[in-house]
């Protein structure tokens, strides 16, 4: 049920109610949700509810009203389905393989969601329910042009929200290396037959971005240095104006428990940068990449083994299957492999330096890396 009320010239209120999904990955399948959304100047949503599940419901509904296509595209990418719906040329098959692996149901539910507060899990389930309620109320054929009538628009789940968050967490680490990971290709012959090997130039779909890509600054001024009796804070994160990292302003209230206003980004039912009645907080961007590169020496004659402290260890091959939309409109399953050492995925460093390309490199080694954020669920624990 939705009820519209004109409150003032600058604001409008909407009371939203809906039911949750029967999907097993929702924390409370079939529950009823409700939220009050008041839109003030510039369309800023002020969302008031009694609990975190309903709060997520309100955020999901409001965000879908403003960014339904943007969120749905992020859902597609987080599920490793860009090539399935947009084709190999317009999609990103390399990233699809990587996120199909890292965003499996087991990886999210037994990894990312472990240790996360019940409040946040309920908010994520509510967010999905709010998005779905908007989709039901509006209809796919009435959405903005970017996704109107698209076959990739569908109801979403709490699991989908977890995948969006995992992709966001890996933004400064694995997300930079998806092309290099899928470019890593072991030789079919023995290493002895291949050496010496010449480096072959590689075209990587997503080489490492320039270090000047993003930045930010912020100022905190104490009450004794301001022209008021209170402290002041300026948060000035240099995030983009477009895409899934664009900030979204909102005000969240659970009477007696939460009253915070500020900004969030795609898929998060919380205030990332903002203030409450007691304090203000901000973030700054670090340009550091959250992965550590290791160079391992291959065992002579066996390119699928490497040495660690004089001990031979196996390189693990993990086949991953994605779907790809072909030019004739049919969909084909395609399988490729990701290779792992004890540290993490093997990658081809040819995008960084031609001397680092190949399996093995000219130094008879292999590049691999450890992702510092892969098990970092603290990023969403509050």
Both 26 and 146 in one domain: the answer is yes
Q: Which of 267, 288, 309 is the C-terminal boundary of a domain?
A: 288
Clarify whether residues 195 and 253 are in a common domain.
Answer: no
Q: What is the pTM of this model?
A: 0.86
Q: In this predicted structure, which of 113-117, 147-151, 203-207 has the lowest mean pLDDT?
A: 203-207
pLDDT tens readout for residues 177-195: 999 999 999 997 434 444 4
Q: Is 156 exposed, middle or buried (0-12, 13-18, 19+ CB in 10 A)?
A: buried
Task: Examine the pLDDT at 203 and tell me if it is beyond 70.
Answer: no
How does pLDDT run across 294-336, given as a tens digit for each residue? Answer: 999 999 999 999 999 999 999 999 999 999 999 999 999 999 9
* Whether residue 297 sits in one domain with residue 278: no
Q: Same structural domain for residues 72 and 197?
A: no
Which has more pLDDT, 343 or 24? Answer: 343
Which pLDDT does position 254 carry in this prediction?
A: 98
For residue 298, give the CATH number of its domain.
Answer: 2.30.120.10
If one counts the domains in the chain, the total is 2
Domain match, 151 and 243 both:
yes
Q: Based on the domain organization, do 236 and 311 belong to the same domain?
A: no
Q: Which of 11, 216, 337, 354 is catalytic?
A: 216
Cα 59 to Cα 273: distance, rounded to the nearest angstrom: 16
For residue 321, being part of any structural domain is answered with yes
Residues 161 and 116 in one domain: yes
* 218 and 283 together in one domain: yes
Provide the CATH number for the domain around residue 282. Answer: 1.10.439.10
Residues 339, 363 share a domain: yes
Q: What is the residue-averaged pLDDT of the chain?
A: 87
Domain hosting residue 146, numbered range: 1-169+209-288
pLDDT band at 218 (very low <50, low <70, confident <90, very high): confident
Question: Region 253-259: what's the mean pLDDT?
Answer: 97
Which of these three, 234, 269, 288, is where a domain ends?
288
Cα(61)–Cα(250) distance, integer angstroms: 12
Annotation marks residue 216 as catalytic: yes
Are 9 and 60 found together in one domain?
A: yes
pLDDT over threshold 60, residue 210: no
Final residue before a domain boundary, out of 262, 288, 314: 288
Q: Report pLDDT digits (tens) over 56-77.
A: 999 999 999 999 999 999 999 9
């Amino acid at each position: 049920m939705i009820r519209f009320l004109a409150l003032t010239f600058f604001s409008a209120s909407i009371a939203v109610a809906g039911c949750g999904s029967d999907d097993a990955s929702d924390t409370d399948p079939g529950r009823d949700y409700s939220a009050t959304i008041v839109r003030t100047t510039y369309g800023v949503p002020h969302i008031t509810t009694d609990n975190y599940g309903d709060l997520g419901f309100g955020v999901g509904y409001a965000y879908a009203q403003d960014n339904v296509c943007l969120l749905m595209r992020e859902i597609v990418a987080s599920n490793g389905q860009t090539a399935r719906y947009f084709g190999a040329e317009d999609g990103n098959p390399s990233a699809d393989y990587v996120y199909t692996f890292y965003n499996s149901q087991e990886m999210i539910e037994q990894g990312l969601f472990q240790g996360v507060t019940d409040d946040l899990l309920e908010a994520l389930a509510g967010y999905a329910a709010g998005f779905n309620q908007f989709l039901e109320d509006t209809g796919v054929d009435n959405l903005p042009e970017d996704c109107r009538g698209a076959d990739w628009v569908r109801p979403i789940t709490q699991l989908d929200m977890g995948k969006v968050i995992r992709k966001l967490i890996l933004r400064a680490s694995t997300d930079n290396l998806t092309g290099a990971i899928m470019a890593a290709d072991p030789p079919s012959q023995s290493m002895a037959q291949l050496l010496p090997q010449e480096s072959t130039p590689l075209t990587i779909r997503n080489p490492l971005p320039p270090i000047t890509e993003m930045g930010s600054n912020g100022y905190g001024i104490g009450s004794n240095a301001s022209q008021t009796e209170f402290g002041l804070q300026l948060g000035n994160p240099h995030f983009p104006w477009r895409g899934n990292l664009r900030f979204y302003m909102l005000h969240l209230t659970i009477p007696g428990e939460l009253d915070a206003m500020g900004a969030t980004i795609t898929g998060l039912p919380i205030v990332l940068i903002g203030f409450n009645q007691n304090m203000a907080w901000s973030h700054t961007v670090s340009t550091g990449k959250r992965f550590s590169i290791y160079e391992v020496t291959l065992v002579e004659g066996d390119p699928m083994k490497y040495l660690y402290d004089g001990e031979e260890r196996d390189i693990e091959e993990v086949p991953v299957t994605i779907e790809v939309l072909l030019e004739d409109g049919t969909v084909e399953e395609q399988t490729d492999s990701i290779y792992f050492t004890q540290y993490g995925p093997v990658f081809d460093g040819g995008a960084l330096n031609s001397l680092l390309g190949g399996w093995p490199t000219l130094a008879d080694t292999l590049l691999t890396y450890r992702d510092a954020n892969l098990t970092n669920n603290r990023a969403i624990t509050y």
